[in-house]
Chains A and B, each alone.
Chain A
Amino acid sequence: MTVEEAPVSLQDAPGRRLTMIEAINEALDIMLTRDPDVVILGEDVGYFGGVFRATAGLQKKHGKNRVFDTPISEGGIIGVAVGMGAYGLRPVPEIQFADYIYPGLDQLVSEAARLRYRSAGEFIAPMTVRSPFGGGIFGGQTHSQSPEALFTHVAGLKTVVPSTPNDAKGLLIAAIEDNDPVIFFEPKRIYNGPFEGYYDRPVTPWAEHPDSLVPAGYYATPLGKARVVREGEAVTVLAYGTMVHVAGAVCREKGVDAELIDLRTLVPLDLETVQKSVEKTGKCLIVHEATRTSGFGAELSALVQERCFWHLEAPIERVTGFDTPYPHSLEWAYFPGPVRIGEALDRLLGH
């Protein structure tokens, strides 16, 4: 270890306004500095600093042994990271777009996720796979997908989705320090500014958002703990990533006293926070951008029904992307925006 930075409490730390990309870059920089076992690999992540600039400057600062470009081979990237983890390193591979992750799926599902189990703890895969996901950037069907449910379905993987610069840094540090493989999906629509779902309104910068206040130095935001963004009485809204902002804006503009919960970690899920909230409000709206059928919303809906059935005053509502590939020109017709969310809220509150 070259530099030991004292952990700071969020309240006391000097905060700076950062974008999500800057916060992620800072988390990576801190972990590269703190832990000599951390290495970053992926397509274009080294010299160039990543197509979204998440790794900008890191190779120059930490050297080619720590931050390096790879061949265009997602299966190779994940497979090599499994081997590095077995050696004792703590790799942080980047998959350039979540849509590209499928060639690495076997290495994630059959290898990384099961190494600890099948070897009875002799070998582990302490890797964090970072990957931008989600749409809203006119990325078409190969640069917009939200495949998180494929990973939440796999025993042995943790799945994390941050929604603010503050969380992105803390959760990424916690993910890298975690000894289990973590899929860290970064909602790329909000890399450079929060998004409230109105594609036709001017983009707001992170600087104006309270959660862009990011403490300097090291801090970890624990995995498996949801964040209650706003307390409310009328309805519980469960969301993660971009949809936290979209759902929050709809509730605000409609004047709904919603309890908005940012799940942050899908596996392991903070069911306790969810259950407590739904028992209080009696109503539950689940919002995600991914396709509907077998989406993570289905799991959430089932869990809420199992745990809170006698508290429910209305059927659980799911607002999701449609079960089509993500279209290019009709992107905003696909996106689960204010109209779809508003309609679901009306149904829920009409009961």
Chain B
Amino acid sequence: MDFRHVHLPAAGSQPRPDETCPPGETHPLCNSLVRVLDDAGRAVGPWNPQLDPASLRRMLRNMALTRAFDERMYRGQRQGKTSFYMKSTGEEATAVAAAMALDFEDMVFPSYRQQGILISRGYPLIDMINQIYSNRADRLKGRQLPIMYSARSHNFFTISGNLATQLPQAVGWAMASASRGDTRIAATWVGEGSTAEGDFHSAMTFAAVYNVPVVFNVVNNQWAISSFSGFAGAERATFAARAIGYGIAGLRVDGNDPLAVYAAERWAADRARANLGPTLIEHFTYRAEGHSTSDDPGAYRSAQERAEWPLGDPIARLRDHLVALGEWSEAQQAAMDLELAEEVRAATKEAEKNGILGHGLHHPFKTMFEDVFEDLPWHLQEQAEQAIRERRIKWPEWKE
């Protein structure tokens, strides 16, 4: 991709309409870029969320932990411990800062690259790793591809793998919440490429028609596997500008500026909670690494593209901001990185006691047939017996 024509307005130069404004007042922002952190690491302008240093450090830590986790899990896949992994390197802010702007009780309907939400909400790393290894402690009983988490305890909806299906679901959840006078809202994430799906448009239509308390996060990381954002229409209009056509609020933010992401998400969440309707937020960010462990970005994008990306790295930018505030230091950063790597390492070791993929330590065999229906119908009962027979033929010593 060529980033030379990306228009970057100065940080702090974008107006911040009141959360109660008519949707149209946000529409100029759909073609701009909300930015808070300037090149000197200062937080400037009306979108500055004025977070206290402790919150900023927590945000930094959540992003750094996400990155450390990704590094370790990626290596684990390369070492054959699991089949698949997806890193979120470079776009951690779009999950972490957004999650921190929501209430813990708000229901999130993520896509597949928002592990930062779980980490921000304090979901145990070991449970994430057990899922990635599909081992005997995997809460999802080894049924899902790695990283397709589900965590009801942390108000995190089950990840599908089919794209954009979570959008109308988030709308339906939020409609149900609103109809009950519940103050919880829904937030959902989708890649820019998947905005081409029909589900994106049905979700936007329903959200607009019923004024639903939902926040749509479009993570525009420039790439959908090998297809640049133009294949989803980025050369014609911004993704935030989709909001204009539906008559809902829209914001376009610097997705590598954690403070801008936080401020935008908080604005949209407050608006939704006040029953003032949905907001579409485009997070303009960059997928710094491959789509997944099954991908080779070298085959379709230049090696120097990451360096040419103009909006930097979200962790480095927040670190610089904290340092500029006198609330953080390079030494503290280095110590934190070591500590987080150790935390991930320890969780990984612990999880490995429950097994890694393909080494026999999985859930009991009969669980394969459970949860298709609430009760086991006769045909699945018969098939379960067949599967057990096959097992006994192959391994006569095998016990259930």
- Interface residues, chain A, with chain B CB atoms under 8 Å away: 39, 65, 70-71, 73, 75-76, 78-89, 91, 103, 106-107, 110-111, 115-124, 155-156, 158, 178-180, 224, 267-269, 271
A330 to B205, CA, bound (A): 39
**Shortest beta-carbon distance, B33 to chain A, in Å?**
30
> Could you tell me if A80 and B169 are in contact, using CB atoms closer than 8 angstroms?
yes
Whether B157 pairs with A268 at a CB distance below 8 angstroms is no
Closest to B373 in A: A180
Residue of B nearest to A224 (CB): B377
The CA of A87 and the CA of B144, in the complex, are separated in Å by 22
- For B148, the chain A residues whose CB sits under 8 A away are 118
Q: Kindly list chain A residues whose C-beta atoms are within 8 Å of the C-beta of B160.
A: 110-111, 118
Q: Which residues of A contact B19 (CB under 8 A)?
A: none
Which residue of the partner chain, among A86, A103, A119, A178, contacts B198 with CB atoms under 8 Å? Answer: A103
Please tell me if the beta carbons of B165 and A79 are within 8 angstroms of each other in the complex: yes
Residue B150 interfacial (CB < 8 Å): yes
- What residues on A are CB-neighbors of B179 within 8 Å? 39, 65
Q: How far is the CB of A88 from chain B (nearest CB, A)?
A: 7
B372 near A155 with CB under 8 A, answer yes
Binds A, one of B10-18, B135-143, B237-245, B269-277: B135-143
Q: How far is the CA of A270 from the CA of B168 in the complex (A)?
A: 35
Q: Contact check, A119 vs B158: say whether CB atoms are below 8 A apart.
A: yes
| Whole-angstrom CA separation of A70 from B31 in the bound complex | 31
Q: B176's contact among A70, A71, A75, A83, by CB below 8 Å, is which?
A: A83
Give a binary string over B193-225; 1 marks a CB under 8 Å from any A CB, 0 the rest: 000001101110110010000000000000000
Nearest chain B CB to A260's CB is how many angstroms away? 23
Bound together, the chains give a CA A346 to CA B109 distance in angstroms of 58
Question: Does the CB pair A82–B172 fall under 8 Å?
Answer: yes
With both beta carbons as reference points, the residue of chain A lying nearest to B374 in the complex is identified as: A179
Q: Which chain A residues border B226 with CB–CB below 8 Å?
A: none
Q: Which residues of A contact B172 (CB under 8 A)?
A: 79-87, 91
**Out of B177, B202, B377, which one reaches A76, CB within 8 Å?**
B202
Contact A79 B167 (CB under 8 A): yes
4 additional contacts, CB 8 Å, given A156-B372, A156-B373?
A106-B162, A117-B143, A120-B139, A123-B158
From A103, A110, A116, A269, B371 is in contact (CB under 8 Å) with A116
Q: Which residues of A contact B203 (CB under 8 A)?
A: 76, 79
Q: Which residue on chain B has the smallest CB distance to residue A268?
A: B377
CB of B158 to closest CB in A, whole Å: 4
- Of A70, A71, A86, A117, the residue contacting B372 (CB under 8 A) is A117
Contacts of A88 in B (CB 8 A): 176
> B151 to chain A: which residues have CB within 8 Å?
122
Q: Inside 8 A of A76's CB, which chain B residues have their CB? A: 168, 171, 199, 202-203, 205-206
Closest 3 CB pairs of A and B: A83-B172, A79-B168, A76-B202
- Answer whether residue B36 sits at the interface, using C-beta atoms and an 8 A cutoff: no
Q: Of the candidates A79, A85, A111, A179, which one forms a contact with B171 in the assembled complex, judged by CB atoms under 8 Å apart?
A: A79
CA distance A115 to B161 in the complex (A): 12
Chain B residues 144 to 175 lying within 8 A of chain A, measured CB to CB, are 144, 148, 150-152, 157-158, 160, 162, 165, 167-175
Residue B394 CB within 8 A of the other chain: no
- Are A118 and B206 in contact, CB atoms less than 8 angstroms apart? no
Are the C-beta atoms of B378 and A118 separated by less than 8 Å? Answer: no
Question: A residues within 8 A CB of B374?
Answer: 116, 124, 178-180
Q: How far is it, in angstroms, between the C-alpha of A106 and the C-alpha of B139 when the chains are bound?
A: 25
Q: Is B379 an interface residue (CB 8 A)?
A: yes
- The contact of B173 among A86, A116, A124, by CB within 8 Å, is A86
Chain A, Cβ-Cβ closest to B145: A118
- Inter-chain contacts of B168 with A (CB < 8 A): 75-76, 78-80, 82-83, 107
Q: Using Cβ atoms and an 8 Å threshold, which residues of chain B touch A118?
A: 140, 143-144, 148, 150, 158, 160
Q: Known: A70-B206, A119-B140. Is A111-B371 also a contact (CB below 8 A)?
A: no
A269 to B382 CA separation, bound complex (whole angstroms): 13
Complex Cα–Cα for A91 and B169 (A): 12
B372 to A80, Cβ gap below 8 A? no
Q: Is the CB of B175 within 8 A of A107?
A: no
Which residues of the partner chain A approach B371 to less than 8 Å between Cβ atoms? 116-117, 120-121
Residue in contact with B202 in the complex, picked from A79, A111, A267, CB distance below 8 Å: A79
B170, B202, B203: which has the most chain A beta carbons within 10 Å? B202
Residue on B with the closest CB to A87? B176
Is there an interface contact between B173 and A83, defined as CB atoms closer than 8 Å? yes
Instruction: Give A76's nearest chain B residue, CB to CB.
Output: B202
Chain B residues whose CB sits within 8 angstroms of the CB of A71 once the complex forms: 202, 205-206, 209
A75–B151 CA distance with the chains assembled, in angstroms: 25
Q: Compute how far the CA of A89 lies from the CA of B173 in the bound complex, rounded to whole angstroms.
A: 9
A156 to B373, CA, bound (A): 6
Query: How far, in Å, is A296 (CB) from chain B's closest CB?
Result: 14
Q: Are A75 and B202 also in contact (CB < 8 A) when A116-B371, A118-B140, A123-B157 are?
A: yes
Contacts of B209 in A (CB 8 A): 71
